[in-house]
């Protein structure tokens, strides 16, 4: 017997039971529950056909066409399900918990699988995660100028048992015009939000959650509004380190990339960088003076960061000077300071 379950139960059980997403490949690509398997009732073209018939001729005609398209594939669905769920228990969903998930759930049930359907479908999951990201959490923002090693410190904090949300890792982008260097293509904005929630749901929100200071946009994706609003109100730690340490960090991080890639990135910000400074940067790059390139770019990025920081001037900001780019040592010092302040 097929059972319908709400989103809370669905997410709780998904840690142990395979999730089968029966939407089309295009829908799945646009956004899906992390860890779910795509077993589409219809391919992309078939979905369009059935949707058009539903709109023009009604439900009954659409159901008949759907059965005609899906019927020959039923045995294949069951064979794939045996591979995906050897324990013979699954949970499934479509877009809104309608015909596609109902028909597939019936098939899975007839094939001997214990089957549950997400009430409200993927749409209810999307509503749930947006609401969950608005729940109050004990966020601490780790800020600082470009080249201060914030991401490395964040991961050192994780090694000590702290909770971190690495938005750059989840977005496959470091945020600047150079942010895509060495990265795989970014997820869709929808999938980025899903990936964030996948980590967020595991946090104890009463304990500290460290997040690196980010603009709303990270490359082509945006931090969800409910989370970004919380980040904007959160306590902030700004780490400060010398310009020499910062330029060395940037040279180590980006100096190994192809010069033409760096040149193209510089030209993308030429308008804001200014004609003279752009020319100086390109000349330094051609001369292989990477430290000079970093110095020139830091002037631009420092100005942009200070401008963005101005919105926080009336908020709780703690400045922590650091001697050198040593992530392990710096993470330990930051924890010492924050623990002393919260005792």
Q: Do residues 42 and 53 touch, judged by C-beta distance below 8 A?
A: no
pLDDT score at 204: 96
**Assessment of whether the complete model's pTM goes beyond 0.85:** yes
Report angle CA 266, 270, 271 to the nearest 5 degrees. 155
CATH 3.40.50 describes domain 136-342? yes
Q: Please count the residues of the chain.
A: 343
pLDDT score at 309: 80
pLDDT score at 343: 66
Identify the segments of the chain with pLDDT beneath 70. 313-314, 343
Tokens matching residue 122: 């993927």
75: left (phi over 0), alpha (psi -120 to 50) or beta: alpha
CATH 3.40.50.720 describes domain 3-130? no
pLDDT score at 59: 87
pLDDT score at 121: 96
pLDDT score at 313: 62
Query: How would you list the strands of the sheet with 163-165, edge to edge?
Result: 163-165, 209-212, 139-144, 235-240, 317-321
How far is the C-alpha of 30 from the C-alpha of 32, rounded, in Å? 7
pLDDT score at 238: 95
DSSP code per residue over 108-126:
HHHTT-EEEEETTHHHHHH
In the chain, where the domains are located: 3-130, 136-342
pLDDT score at 164: 98
E-strand ranges in the chain read: 3-5, 19-21, 37-38, 89-93, 114-118, 139-144, 163-165, 209-212, 217-218, 221-222, 235-240, 317-321
């Amino acid at each position: 017997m097929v059972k319908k379950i709400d989103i809370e139960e669905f997410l709780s059980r998904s840690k142990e039971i395979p999730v089968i997403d029966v939407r089309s490949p295009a829908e799945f690509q646009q956004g899906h529950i992390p860890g779910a398997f795509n077993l589409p009732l219809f391919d992309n073209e078939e979905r369009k056909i059935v949707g058009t018939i539903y709109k023009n001729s009604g439900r009954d005609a659409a159901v008949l066409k759907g059965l005609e398209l899906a019927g020959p594939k039923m045995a294949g669905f069951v064979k794939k399900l045996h591979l995906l769920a050897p324990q013979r228990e699954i949970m499934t969903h479509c877009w809104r918990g309608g015909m596609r998930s109902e028909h597939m759930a019936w098939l899975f049930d007839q094939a001997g699988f214990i089957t549950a359907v997400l009430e409200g479908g993927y749409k209810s999951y999307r509503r749930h995660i947006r609401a969950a990201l608005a729940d109050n959490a004990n966020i601490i923002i780790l800020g600082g100028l470009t080249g201060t090693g914030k991401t490395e410190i964040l991961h050192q904090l994780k090694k000590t048992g702290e909770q971190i949300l690495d938005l750059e890792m989840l977005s496959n982008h470091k945020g600047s015009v150079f942010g895509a260097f060495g990265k795989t293509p970014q997820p869709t904005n929808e999938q980025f939000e899903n990936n964030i929630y996948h980590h967020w749901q595991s946090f104890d929100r009463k304990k500290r959650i460290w997040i690196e200071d980010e603009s709303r946009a990270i490359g082509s994706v945006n931090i969800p509004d409910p989370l970004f609003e919380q980040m904007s109100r959160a306590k902030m730690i700004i780490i400060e380190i010398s310009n020499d340490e910062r330029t060395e960090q940037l040279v180590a991080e980006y100096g190994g990339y192809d010069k033409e890639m760096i040149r193209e990135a510089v030209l993308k910000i030429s308008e804001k960088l200014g004609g003279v400074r752009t020319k100086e940067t390109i000349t330094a790059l051609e001369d292989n003076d990477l430290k000079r390139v970093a110095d020139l770019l830091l002037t631009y990025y420092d100005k942009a960061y200070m401008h963005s920081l101005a919105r926080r001037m009336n908020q709780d900001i703690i400045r922590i000077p650091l001697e050198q780019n040593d992530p392990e040592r710096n993470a330990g010092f930051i924890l010492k300071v924050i623990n002393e302040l919260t005792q």
